[in-house]
Structure 1
Amino acid sequence: MSTLGGYDSSAGRSAHRVGAPTLIPVPSLLRSLLSDHLDPGYAAAAQAGRQRGRGTEWTWQVLAAVMIAAVFVFAWAQAQSTAPGVRESQKVLAASVRSAETATTEIAARRDALAADVDAESRRRLEGDATGRQLLADLDQANAGAAATPVIGPGLTVTVTDPGVTRDLSDVSKERVEGSRQVILDRDLQLVVNSLWLSGAEAISVGGVRIGPNVTMRQAGGGILVDNRPIASPYVILAVGPPHAMSEVFDRSTGLQRLRLLETSYGVGVNVATGEGLALPAGSVREVNFAKQIGAK
């Protein structure tokens, strides 16, 4: 019996054992082809390729880290170089705002003084006869409806305060205004004002601004504007009218119910009190360019 299995140096010689298989000499190349399925050259090339791939990957990672670090360093250096200019610009803007506020306050005071002089002169000229007195009575009634005259009397004071730091509740953690801790919105105050009108209020002011015709209350970013004037927490709402009758109706109103819900859910401060001698300023009177009597033909 012959076996193809390797190379025997004594094959073909007289040193043959009885019953032992006869080994046929096989060259080393053929033996390697039969036993080694991958050429050593390919294996070496694959190993070298893997090593080069790992080296390239590490190189790109290092380059990416260096670039990110360089970007951050550049941004930090840019911020440091521009910081003095930014601070100076902020100071200039703040000074401009303060100057504009001062000028606006002075102009408003002069306007009010001139309006008072005109009113006094008109009354002096019209009080001399019955027709003039009737005209003054009509003007007073119209000015009261237009919130153009200051009002002092009894009524309700509603104070609403945004929470400083709310409790960690699931509902509280959701900010009603993105990026701020503000909870009270313009629609909340609008609902309170409308509820006070329904409760019998004769005159209302919000944050020291008189509510009258053409007066708007709207959200502006994280603040609230009443007649284009910013107001801030605590929001004080004054309503002149019969205090006890107003209180009974307002206690059942949707406005107060909304405030109580915000108080429970967000920790908003809500206080309602009756008082005497509430002083409401006159509202802004805008020039009327066109008017038409309702129902006129």
Structure 2
Amino acid sequence: MEYTSGGSSWTAALRRLGRAMLPRRRPKRTFGWSVLTPVVLAVAGMLFSLSAATAQGTDLRDDRRPELTNLIAERKQEIASSRERAARLRAEIDAQQQRQAGTDGQVDSQRRRGDAEQAAAGLTAVHGPGLVVSLDDAPRRADGTRPTGATPDDLVVHQQDVQAVVNALWAGGAEAMTLMGVRVIATSAVRCVGNTLLLDGQVYSPPFVVAAIGDQARLQRALNASEGVRLFSEAAETFGLGYEVRMEADVQAKAYDGSTALRAAQAGS
């Protein structure tokens, strides 16, 4: 290349030299984004399609609580119907036994023997003076706070609390007892699920009421002597749980009308 002595030639040469000394810029890499963008759009489209297919025209965020409430109500109705049917069948069996007892001396003898044990088994209604014990959860505070030092477990009635009252009343010579109006017999079991009581297939919410027929002073002494009852009573004073004992002149204890079948037993030593 031939350079001339003109000013324009020197200017062009210097411009080329300056461009050569400057760092070269790397070309922009657009390949990654060009591939990633369609992939993201495809995945989003698949998610929308799956949601639409799953919903089938319904709201996926629809509240299922009404369905659960209806299901619980249906199950309660089924249990009530089953109990009524069982009561009718037991009445039919009793009627047939009575008819048979009139013509068979051996059947009559065994029936009279069974009738004599019904009261002790809790199969007859009784009434008399006694005590009524009520246990309840601590009420919720308006501001949502808890008493100082209390945990959520400290503010509810537990299975062992109800069991302590039941055991204390039996130890105090209770002649008959009911829990939530249900007659307590030898095969009755106190079970709590969360803060609800499960008894004879029925679920009860607090307050839990235990009623016992017997000598009132003796029953009260038995409650006072129970370690479990004492601990609950102290928690009631500290955290505001409900604990009430009242004497009644006429406590009603209806006959047990559930199943008396014994599923399991173990001989004592």
Q: Is the 8 A contact 2:87 2:257 kept in 1?
A: no
* Partner Cα distance (2:235, 2:265) in 1: 41
**TM-score, scaled to structure 1:** 0.59
Aligned length: 212
Which of 157, 171, 174 is the matching residue for 2:149? 171
1:190 matched to 2:163:
yes
> What is the Cα deviation at residue 141 of structure 1?
4.4
SS in 1 for 2:152: coil
Taking structure 2 as the reference length, the TM-score comes to: 0.64
Give the alignment partner of residue 172 of structure 2, picking from 183, 192, 199. Answer: 199
**Hey, what does 1:221 align to over in structure 2?**
194
Counterpart for residue 254 of structure 2? 280
Deviation at 1:89, TM superposition (A): 3.5
Mapped to 2, the partners of 1:232 and 1:154 lie a distance apart of 26
Distance 1:294 1:268 in 2: 37
Letter in 2 for 1:212: I
Work out whether residues 124 and 256 of structure 2, in 8 Å CA contact, stay in contact via their aligned partners in 1. Answer: yes
What's the offset of the Cα at 1:233? Answer: 0.8
Distance in 2, matches of 1:171 and 1:161, equals 19
Partner of 2:38: none
8 A Cα contact 2:129 2:251, kept in partner? yes
When residues 255 and 130 of structure 1 are mapped into structure 2, their CA distance, relative to the original with a 3 A threshold, is farther
Question: What is the alpha-carbon root mean square deviation over aligned residues?
Answer: 3.6
What is the one-letter code of the residue matched to 1:205? T
Larger RCO of the pair (alpha carbons < 8 Å, separation 6+): 2
SS of equivalent to 1:113: helix
Identical positions, percent: 23
AA aligned to 2:115 is D
Q: Which residue of 1 aligns with 2:184?
A: 211
The answer to whether residue 72 in structure 2 is matched with residue 97 in structure 1 is: yes
> Structure 1's 127 and 170: CA in aligned 2 closer, same or farther, altered over 3 A?
farther
Deviations 1:204-223 (A, max 9, x none): 22223332233222232343
- How many Å apart are 1:227 and its aligned residue? 3.6
Q: 1:133 to 1:93 in 2, by over 3 A?
A: same
Gaps of 5+ in 2: 1-46
1:243-282 to 2 correspondence within 5 Å?
A: 243-275=216-248, 276-282=250-256
| Equivalent residue letter for 1:169 | P
Residue 190 of structure 1 and its aligned partner are, at CA, apart by 0.6
Q: What are structure 1's unaligned runs of at least 5 residues?
A: 1-73
Q: Is the radius of gyration larger for structure 1 or structure 2?
A: 1
Per the alignment, in what secondary structure is the counterpart of residue 272 of structure 1?
strand
